[in-house]
């Protein structure tokens, strides 16, 4: 699979001598049905629901679940258990999932995954903005920040996420031209006149 | 040529152009592959299976080894900076460390040749103690690098095109870079410098070089006349002890491994290890000072997508700029550093857009997804790379209690930073934070006094040099100015062990230039029958 795409990029480039040098790569195994290593069935339902609350589908790309993020997280936790020689990250994640169910049952008499969207959001709104959260909620805030990072990392490193950003590299280009002049014009304009960043107004860069 | 590790040919074994989503755990770092799944290092890393090293109490040294043909040149950063005139005469300049027995002028012709052979891009700038060279054209800067350049201009910090051993024009049958930015995976077309593709395979084509892989050198064998007779090694496949005989022995096993072989080469003539009458083999081990700061630049948010890969590494860098202030005694530390930077719309891995709550405040859902797209490519980081002054407390020796699986005694390390390095790291921290803030950005990670200003662990920057230094006096050095052992005239060293100081300039180009000079000297001495056995 990858050899074909590689041949294509060089073919497009017309870089035959370079392409000729590229041989002998063992192809990666074809995808097989994923076998869970960490999550039980109930946790798995919660993970799927939570992943898609973090990264839902929109008009650009599919949701985290559609991009295989729950599988990524399950595999990632197993990987960390082995790499870190402890299960602290797994404990934080499955512990956080447990708390979501505890809290959902306390408030709404149903598991988090089965709760209505507004009910799920009511719980998440307490823990999704660290600066606004109450001190009592900080352990769940830390859980959610970790879960969000795992979901975001899993999503945007997936094939779906790479196309969504979009990341346009990891390919052979015929000539390197530096920053696109159209992009630079925007940056230059912002430097001169200031601009509205996501975090608020930023002053002009140049004196 | 003996190689402890396996055969490696990047044109056949590189993972160039692979996607993290097709690799285990999105190609994340692991103990087995500390620089990521696609890193070129076959067998190696901070630990090599069955080949330990130890640290003396209070030392936390890290030793990166790559057991493969071409070693660490397969994955390194390709940064190729000449040492400058001051860097060879450090003691004369500020009273610390030691002077080299050679000057910049002695090495300059070999820097020329090395650059022309391996292919280095850059620009000639005429800056103080930052010598120009024989460069290929430098690639244009990326957008974020132009922002940083403008910011640094305001702050009086020079920001110039990088000097990297990556081809921007074809050279000796090697094609120019295709700008996929993943040099650390090794280049499938040899567009960057690596020792197998540029040195070893062409040398083999002459018919004069035989390479034996899986040959773990353990000792330089010495004759009764005190001359080197060859090298004893363990054939790692058969586990048999073998010896290869030679008229001239050249050690280039990497600085610490070379010291290990020398210290393990004990004989009646050399009871403390070969060519070690000075007692300095293993001494004055140095690494580079590193300290990082990262930040977010709102000016880079929500820009039209573009491919920002470029070459594998920064297209711009900042050479040290406060030489005059240091000379005038106005700085609290004695030596300089250069600044490396990174950022942009890089290849997304497992941790893509991690820590977004630091920028966005948190959140989830459609708004988060939209905002993540907007902040992608707007983060930036700086890495300082600074000079360490050699000190008496930093050295390696044989650990009498520990063997590797080949029966070879291993190294034990002792290492300490001095205030010169720690205060340099403090200056890095302050400078990088200043740059980020001057560019209208927000610092995302930094260090302070509580963690020694983020200073790297000894060995962590993988620039270990020294341990068998050259000099003009056999009592205070291991090698003469031609990297020839004072005590054993047919033994030479062509890695970084001969270094007397460790300028902020990354060592590989200087290793290459010194190696060339030493090779010419060996050929000349053989011709003059001074080395005939």
pLDDT tens, position by position, B474-502: 999 999 999 999 999 999 999 999 999 99
Residues in A closer than 8 angstroms to B171, CB to CB, are none
* Cα-only R_g, chain A: 22
DSSP single-letter state for residue B118: H
- Taking the C-alpha atoms of residue B222 and residue A93, their distance in angstroms, rounded to an integer, is 61
Q: Which two tokens stand for residue A10?
A: 């060089």
**Chain A residue with minimal CA distance to B366?**
A56
Q: What is the pLDDT of residue A207?
A: 64
**Chain B residue with minimal CA distance to A75?**
B25
Q: How far is A13 from chain B (nearest CA, A)?
A: 9
Q: What is the pLDDT of residue A205?
A: 80
**Chain B residue with minimal CA distance to A21?**
B11
CB B96 within 8 A of CB B389: yes
Is A153 touching B (CB cutoff 8 A)? yes
The three-state DSSP-derived secondary structure of B449-508 is: HHHHHHCCCCCCCCCCECCCCECCCCCCCCECCCCEECCCCCEEECCCCCCCCECCCCCH
Give just the sign of the alpha carbon dihedral B136, B137, B142, B147.
Answer: positive
pLDDT at A162 over 90: yes
Give Cβ neighbours of residue B28 (< 8 Å, ≥ 6 apart): A79, B36, B37, B349, B350, B351
Give the three-class secondary structure for B174.
strand
CA distances from A198 to B328, B348, B370 (A): 45, 21, 11
The three-state DSSP-derived secondary structure of A59-97 is: CCCCCCCCCCHHHHHHHHHHHHHHHHCCCHHHHHHHHHH
For residue A170, is it left (φ>0), alpha (ψ between -120 and 50) or beta?
A: left
Which residue, among B166, B172, B178, B366, would best test binding to A if mutated, counting the most A CBs under 10 Å from its CB? B178
pLDDT tens, position by position, B46-95: 999 999 999 999 999 999 999 999 999 999 999 999 999 999 999 999 99
- Taking the C-alpha atoms of residue B161 and residue B159, their distance in angstroms, rounded to an integer, is 7
Q: What is the pLDDT of residue B283?
A: 98
Residues 129-148 of A with CB under 8 A from B: 129-132, 145, 148
- Taking the C-alpha atoms of residue B357 and residue B521, their distance in angstroms, rounded to an integer, is 59
| Largest CA-CA distance found in chain B, in angstroms, rounded | 79
- Average pLDDT rounded to a whole number, residues B427-456: 97
Taking each helix axis from N to C end, the angle separating A88-108 and A41-54, rounded to the nearest 10 degrees, works out to 90
Measured in degrees and rounded to the nearest 5, phi and psi for residue B103 equal -115, 175
Letter string b/e over residues B53-66, b meaning 16 or more CB atoms within 10 A of that residue's CB? bebeeebebbbbbb
Helix (H) or strand (E) holding B515: helix B508-527
Which residue, among B154, B348, B439, would best test binding to A if mutated, counting the most A CBs under 10 Å from its CB? B348
Residue B532: pLDDT band (50, 70, 90) is: low
Q: What is the pLDDT of residue A11?
A: 39
pLDDT tens, position by position, B389-412: 999 999 999 999 999 999 999 999
- Taking the C-alpha atoms of residue B333 and residue B97, their distance in angstroms, rounded to an integer, is 13
> CA angle B412-B213-B68, nearest 5°?
60
Which of B154, B315, B350 is facing A157, going by the closest CB pair? B350
Q: Given an 8 Å threshold on Cβ–Cβ distance, is B369 in contact with A2?
A: no
Is A34 touching B (CB cutoff 8 A)? no
Q: Given an 8 Å threshold on Cβ–Cβ distance, is A152 in contact with B356?
A: yes
Q: Which two tokens stand for residue B219?
A: 């000792």
Give the three-class secondary structure for B263.
helix
Is A5 touching B (CB cutoff 8 A)? yes
Residues in A closer than 8 angstroms to B302, CB to CB, are 198
Q: How far is A177 from chain B (nearest CA, A)?
A: 6
Domain range summary for chain B, segments of one domain joined by +: 1-11+46-78+81-119+193-273+467-533
Which residue, among B9, B181, B352, would best test binding to A if mutated, counting the most A CBs under 10 Å from its CB? B352
Residues in B closer than 8 angstroms to A178, CB to CB, are 139-142, 315
Residue A32: pLDDT band (50, 70, 90) is: confident
- Taking the C-alpha atoms of residue A69 and residue B99, their distance in angstroms, rounded to an integer, is 57
Query: What class does CATH assign to B1-11+46-78+81-119+193-273+467-533?
Result: alpha beta
Provide the CA A83 distance to its chain's centre, in angstroms.
21
pLDDT tens, position by position, B309-338: 999 999 999 999 999 999 999 999 999 999
Pairing of strands B491-493, B249-251: parallel
**Chain B residue with minimal CA distance to A180?**
B306
% of chain B exceeding 90 in pLDDT: 99
Give Cβ neighbours of residue B136 (< 8 Å, ≥ 6 apart): B119, B120, B121, B122, B167, B168, B169, B171
Is A179 touching B (CB cutoff 8 A)? yes
Interface ipTM > 0.85:
yes
Give the three-class secondary structure for B175.
coil
- Average pLDDT rounded to a whole number, residues A171-180: 96
Which of A9, A145, A168 is facing B306, going by the closest CB pair? A168
**Chain B residue with minimal CA distance to A85?**
B31
| Four-CA torsion B163, B166, B168, B169, nearest 10 degrees | 120
Is A152 touching B (CB cutoff 8 A)? yes
Is A89 touching B (CB cutoff 8 A)? no
Which residue, among A152, A162, A190, would best test binding to B if mutated, counting the most B CBs under 10 Å from its CB? A152
Q: Given an 8 Å threshold on Cβ–Cβ distance, is A21 in contact with B16?
A: no
Q: Given an 8 Å threshold on Cβ–Cβ distance, is B304 in contact with A183?
A: yes
Residues in A closer than 8 angstroms to B345, CB to CB, are 165, 167-169
CB B133 within 8 A of CB B122: yes
Q: Given an 8 Å threshold on Cβ–Cβ distance, is A197 in contact with B298?
A: yes
CB B404 within 8 A of CB B50: yes
Give the three-class secondary structure for B8.
coil
Q: What is the pLDDT of residue B476?
A: 98
| Four-CA torsion B155, B158, B161, B166, nearest 10 degrees | -110
Provide the CA B114 distance to its chain's centre, in angstroms.
16
Give the three-class secondary structure for B335.
coil
Please tell me the total number of residues recorded for chain B in this structure.
Answer: 533
Q: What is the pLDDT of residue B267?
A: 97
Residues in B closer than 8 angstroms to A15, CB to CB, are 175, 178, 189
pLDDT at A3 over 70: no
CA distances from B181 to A130, A178, B141, B151, B192 (A): 35, 13, 13, 25, 11
pLDDT tens, position by position, B169-207: 999 999 999 999 999 999 999 999 999 999 999 999 999
Residue A26: pLDDT band (50, 70, 90) is: very low
Q: Which two tokens stand for residue B247?
A: 């008229």
Q: 0.90 exceeded by the pTM?
A: yes
Residues in B closer than 8 angstroms to A168, CB to CB, are 305-307, 345
Is A124 touching B (CB cutoff 8 A)? yes
Provide the CA B235 distance to its chain's centre, in angstroms.
28
Helix (H) or strand (E) holding B231: strand B228-235
Q: Given an 8 Å threshold on Cβ–Cβ distance, is B442 in contact with A199?
A: yes
pLDDT tens, position by position, A99-148: 999 999 999 999 999 999 999 999 999 999 999 999 999 999 999 999 99
pLDDT tens, position by position, B198-246: 999 999 999 999 999 999 999 999 999 999 999 999 999 999 999 999 9
Q: Given an 8 Å threshold on Cβ–Cβ distance, is B299 in contact with A195?
A: yes
Nearest CA to B510 out of B522, B523, B498, B524 is that of B498
B420 versus B531: which is more confidently predicted? B420
**Per-position DSSP letters for B182-196, written without gaps between them:** -GGG--TT--B--HI
Strands, sheet with B395-403, edge to edge from the N-terminal-most edge strand: B54-55, B409-414, B395-403
Q: How high does pLDDT run on average in chain B?
A: 97
- Average pLDDT rounded to a whole number, residues A30-46: 92
């Amino acid at each position: 699979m990858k050899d074909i795409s590689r041949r294509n990029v060089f073919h497009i480039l017309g870089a035959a001598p370079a392409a000729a040098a590229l041989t002998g790569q063992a192809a990666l195994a074809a995808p097989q049905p994923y076998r869970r290593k960490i999550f039980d069935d109930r946790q798995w339902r919660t993970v799927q629901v939570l992943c898609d609350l973090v990264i839902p589908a929109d008009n650009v790309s599919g949701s985290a679940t559609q991009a295989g993020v729950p599988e990524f997280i399950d595999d990632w936790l197993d990987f960390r258990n082995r790499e870190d020689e402890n299960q602290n990250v797994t404990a934080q994640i499955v512990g956080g999932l447990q708390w979501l169910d505890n809290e959902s049952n306390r408030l709404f008499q149903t598991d988090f995954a089965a709760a209505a969207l507004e009910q799920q959001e009511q719980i998440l709104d307490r823990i999704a903005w660290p600066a606004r959260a109450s001190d009592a909620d900080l352990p769940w805030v830390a859980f959610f920040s970790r879960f969000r990072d795992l979901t975001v990392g899993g999503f945007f490193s997936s094939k779906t996420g790479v196309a969504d950003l979009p990341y346009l590299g990891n390919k052979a280009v015929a000539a390197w031209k530096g920053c696109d002049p159209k992009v630079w014009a925007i940056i230059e304009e912002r430097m001169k006149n200031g601009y509205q960043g996501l975090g608020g107004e930023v002053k002009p860069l140049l004196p | 040529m003996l190689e402890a590790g396996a055969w490696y040919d990047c044109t056949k074994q590189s993972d160039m152009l692979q996607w993290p989503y097709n690799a285990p755990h999105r190609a994340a770092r692991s103990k087995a592959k500390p620089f990521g799944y696609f890193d070129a290092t076959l067998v190696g890393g901070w630990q090599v299976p069955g080949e330990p090293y130890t640290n003396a109490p209070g030392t936390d040294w890290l030793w990166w080894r790559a057991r493969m043909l071409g070693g660490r040149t397969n994955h390194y950063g390709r940064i190729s900076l000449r040492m400058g005139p001051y860097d060879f005469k450090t003691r004369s300049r500020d009273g610390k460390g030691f002077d080299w027995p050679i000057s910049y002028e002695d090495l300059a012709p070999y820097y020329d040749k090395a650059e022309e052979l391996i292919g280095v891009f850059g620009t000639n700038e005429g800056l103080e103690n930052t010598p120009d060279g024989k460069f290929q054209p430098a690639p244009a800067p990326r957008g974020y690098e132009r922002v940083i350049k403008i910011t640094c201009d305001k702050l009086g910090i020079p920001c110039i095109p990088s000097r990297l051993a990556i081809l921007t024009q074809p050279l000796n049958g090697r094609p120019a870079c295709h700008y996929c930015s993943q040099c650390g995976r090794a280049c499938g077309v040899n567009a960057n410098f690596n020792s197998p593709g540029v040195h070893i395979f062409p040398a083999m084509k002459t018919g004069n070089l035989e390479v034996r892989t899986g040959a773990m050198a353990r000792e330089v064998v010495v004759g009764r006349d005190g001359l080197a007779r060859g090298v004893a090694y363990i054939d790692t496949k058969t586990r048999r002890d073998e010896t290869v005989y030679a008229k001239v022995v050249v050690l280039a096993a990497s600085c610490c491994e070379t010291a290990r072989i020398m210290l393990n080469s004990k004989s009646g003539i050399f009871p403390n290890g070969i060519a070690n009458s000075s007692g300095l083999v293993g001494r004055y081990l140095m690494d580079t000072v590193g300290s990082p700061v990262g930040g977010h630049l709102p000016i880079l948010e929500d820009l039209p997508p573009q491919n920002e890969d470029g070459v594998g590494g920064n297209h711009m860098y900042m050479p040290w700029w406060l030489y005059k202030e240091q000379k005038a005694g106005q700085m609290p530390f004695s030596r300089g550093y250069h600044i490396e930077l990174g950022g942009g719309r890089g290849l997304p891995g497992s941790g893509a857009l991690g820590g977004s709550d630091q920028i966005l405040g948190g959140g989830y859902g459609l708004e988060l997804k939209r905002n993540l797209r907007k902040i992608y490519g707007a983060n930036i980081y700086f890495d300082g790379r600074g000079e360490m002054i050699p000190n008496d407390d930093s050295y390696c020796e044989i650990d009498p209690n520990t063997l590797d699986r080949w029966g070879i005694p291993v190294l034990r390390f002792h290492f300490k930073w001095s205030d010169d390095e720690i205060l340099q790291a403090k200056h890095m921290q302050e400078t990088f934070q200043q740059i980020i803030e001057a560019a209208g950005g927000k610092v995302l990670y930094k260090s302070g006094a509580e963690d020694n200003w983020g200073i790297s662990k000894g060995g962590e920057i993988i620039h270990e040099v020294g341990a068998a230094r050259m000099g003009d006096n056999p009592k205070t050095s291991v090698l003469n100015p031609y990297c020839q052992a004072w005590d054993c005239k047919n033994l030479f060293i062509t890695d970084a062990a001969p270094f007397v100081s460790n300028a902020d300039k990354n060592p590989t180009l200087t290793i290459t230039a010194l190696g060339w000079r030493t090779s010419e000297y060996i050929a000349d001495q053989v011709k003059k029958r001074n080395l005939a056995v």
